[in-house]
Chain A
Amino acid sequence: MPVTESQDTKSATLTQKPLELILARNLMSALSTPAFLVDEGGLLVFYNEAAGMLLGKPWEELGTVGAEEWGRLFGPFDDGGEPIPYDELPLVKAVRDDRPAHAELAIRSTDGHPHRVEVSAFPIQTAHGSRGAIAIVWPTAGGGSFDGASA
């Protein structure tokens, strides 16, 4: 029996998320902490119910959106109220650099209310390389709002 390896992966595999993302989503679904998940290309593929409450829009309603649309909807913004470039977000940096990343920033929920938060993101590494990244979000210690974010 000859053995050959083909690059012709069938369409069925292309519809399937990697198991590591599936398990991450399942875990995040059980957490009360806001959490976000991106794939290996940096595309947001899921956020949990707690994140939906923070943003004011559940994942089921929003679905996958591009970077520009995400920025228009939610920010995030830096201390000066300036939008943070998509490439500088902890999640995107974690995927791109294969390194953990952390930041304090402000996001704006759909009702226009700003929320100061800390975000920690880490890459999902497997035997076959990076699969994406997870970000966990916490309210900034001391709370408070960030006026510039609602501008």
Chain B
Amino acid sequence: MKAKLWGTRGSVPSPGPETIRYGGNTSCVGVTLSDGSLLALDAGTGIRNLGLALPDEPTRLHILLTHLHLDHIQGLVFFAPCFRPQTEIVIWGPASPGASLRDRISRYISAPLSPIEVRELPCDVSFRHTPQSEWEIGPARIRAASVSHRGPTLGYRIDDGEDSLAYIPDHEPALGADLDTLGEEWISGFGLAEGASLLIHDGQYSDAEYPEHLGWGHSSLSHALSFARRTGVDRTVLFHHDPMHTDERLDELGAEARERWAAVGGDPSAVELAVEGAELDLRAPAPSPVVAG
């Protein structure tokens, strides 16, 4: 299994010379399964470039949405395969007591926010609420679970052979909780991330910024690292960068993350900040994880 980061930014697209290295597109990860098929995790503005990279040929695509905040769906109407009649697209997302997934997404893909309606998309698109039990897409086993964020929000785990990817881009597991002492069954997202080869996780705020954003649904650097340590993942990619963080600021946060990881006995190369365009091979030798304690 391989993953490519097409959009790493949180909240709002942040293009510009000061964000050119880590990227300004919002959340989207392309996952290539062992049989060569492709999944898209979230449909932020990064999915536009993913769509442009796909060949124009009949295919079936699955898009797994964590939630419906705009930075995770904004790219849908700019995803080229949506405009190809020979393409079948299955969009998975969280259930809500108020309206179906299709109806909720249609609030965005409709006037006055969009020039087209869902029913006008040339592709064959369908919408499915994620099941409570594990399901399979091609060679992969997929699991979704609700996680601590604002509104109905999922994290995903994808297991394909020996590889496992946990994707929890918007997550505040430390809200009202002490991640260092809490029993693991009481940690939001624990079951998704436990022992994963690769964890892509919210790391939006520095520790100094977090108190001003308590309850906004995102993690500080310390919380993200604590979550990674408790879940015993092999490798962690900090994701969903704050739009105010320049490349230089992210360089500083990345260095701080590696230092802290090393300070608790981890391999500093096992923690990195997400870079738009980066390709992550889950088959690569994994650094030694920190022993959870």
> With A16-B145, A17-B186 known to touch, is A127 a contact of B175 (CB < 8 Å)?
no
A113 proximal to B (CB < 8 A): no
CB distance from B238 to the nearest CB of A (A): 22
A128–B133 alpha-carbon span in the complex (Å): 11
A3 CB contact (under 8 Å) in B135, B175, B187: B135
Identify which of A6-14, A65-73, A95-103, A134-142 touches chain B: A6-14
A25–B187 alpha-carbon span in the complex (Å): 11
CB distance from B286 to the nearest CB of A (A): 18
Name the B residues within 8 Å of A5 (CB-CB): 131, 133-136
Determine if B177 and A26 form an interchain contact, defined as CB atoms under 8 angstroms apart.
Answer: yes
Name the A residues within 8 Å of B133 (CB-CB): 5-9
A79–B135 alpha-carbon span in the complex (Å): 52
Mark each residue of chain B from 72 to 110: 1 if its CB lies under 8 Å from any CB of chain A, else 0.
Answer: 000000000000000000100001110000000000000
A18 proximal to B (CB < 8 A): yes
> With A15-B191, A19-B148 known to touch, is A27 a contact of B176 (CB < 8 Å)?
yes
B136 CB contact (under 8 Å) in A3, A15, A22: A3
A30 CB contact (under 8 Å) in B134, B143, B176: B176
Determine if B146 and A18 form an interchain contact, defined as CB atoms under 8 angstroms apart.
Answer: yes
A18–B62 alpha-carbon span in the complex (Å): 26
A4 proximal to B (CB < 8 A): yes
Determine if A2 and B138 form an interchain contact, defined as CB atoms under 8 angstroms apart.
Answer: yes
Determine if A1 and B138 form an interchain contact, defined as CB atoms under 8 angstroms apart.
Answer: yes
B210 proximal to A (CB < 8 A): no
B134 CB contact (under 8 Å) in A6, A18, A25, A127: A6
A151 proximal to B (CB < 8 A): no
Name the B residues within 8 Å of A29 (CB-CB): 176-177
Determine if B137 and A1 form an interchain contact, defined as CB atoms under 8 angstroms apart.
Answer: yes
Determine if A23 and B186 form an interchain contact, defined as CB atoms under 8 angstroms apart.
Answer: no
A61–B188 alpha-carbon span in the complex (Å): 23
Determine if B60 and A127 form an interchain contact, defined as CB atoms under 8 angstroms apart.
Answer: no
B226 proximal to A (CB < 8 A): no
A29–B187 alpha-carbon span in the complex (Å): 14
B184 proximal to A (CB < 8 A): yes
Name the B residues within 8 Å of A4 (CB-CB): 135-136
The chain A residue sitting closest to B183, CB to CB, is A17
Name the A residues within 8 Å of B194 (CB-CB): 12, 15
The chain B residue sitting closest to A28, CB to CB, is B176
Determine if B134 and A8 form an interchain contact, defined as CB atoms under 8 angstroms apart.
Answer: yes
B190 CB contact (under 8 Å) in A3, A15, A128: A15
Determine if A6 and B190 form an interchain contact, defined as CB atoms under 8 angstroms apart.
Answer: no
Determine if B141 and A1 form an interchain contact, defined as CB atoms under 8 angstroms apart.
Answer: no
Determine if A16 and B190 form an interchain contact, defined as CB atoms under 8 angstroms apart.
Answer: yes
Name the A residues within 8 Å of B95 (CB-CB): 127-128
CB distance from B148 to the nearest CB of A (A): 6
CB distance from A21 to the nearest CB of B (A): 8
Name the A residues within 8 Å of B148 (CB-CB): 19, 22-23
Name the A residues within 8 Å of B191 (CB-CB): 12-16
Determine if A9 and B135 form an interchain contact, defined as CB atoms under 8 angstroms apart.
Answer: no
B252 proximal to A (CB < 8 A): no
CB distance from B86 to the nearest CB of A (A): 15
Determine if B185 and A1 form an interchain contact, defined as CB atoms under 8 angstroms apart.
Answer: no
> With A4-B135, A127-B97 known to touch, is A9 a contact of B143 (CB < 8 Å)?
yes
B41 proximal to A (CB < 8 A): no
List residues of chain A with CB under 8 Å of any chain B CB: 1-10, 12-20, 22-23, 25-27, 29-30, 127-128
Give the top 7 A-B pairs by smallest Cβ distance, nearest first: A16-B191, A26-B176, A1-B138, A19-B146, A5-B135, A12-B191, A4-B136
List residues of chain B with CB under 8 Å of any chain A CB: 35, 37, 60, 62, 90, 95-97, 131-138, 141, 143, 145-148, 152, 157, 159, 175-177, 184-188, 190-192, 194-195
Beyond contacts A3-B136, A10-B159, A26-B177: 13 other A-B pairs, Cβ-Cβ < 8 A, are A3-B137, A5-B134, A5-B136, A9-B143, A12-B157, A13-B191, A14-B191, A15-B191, A15-B194, A16-B192, A19-B148, A23-B176, A25-B186
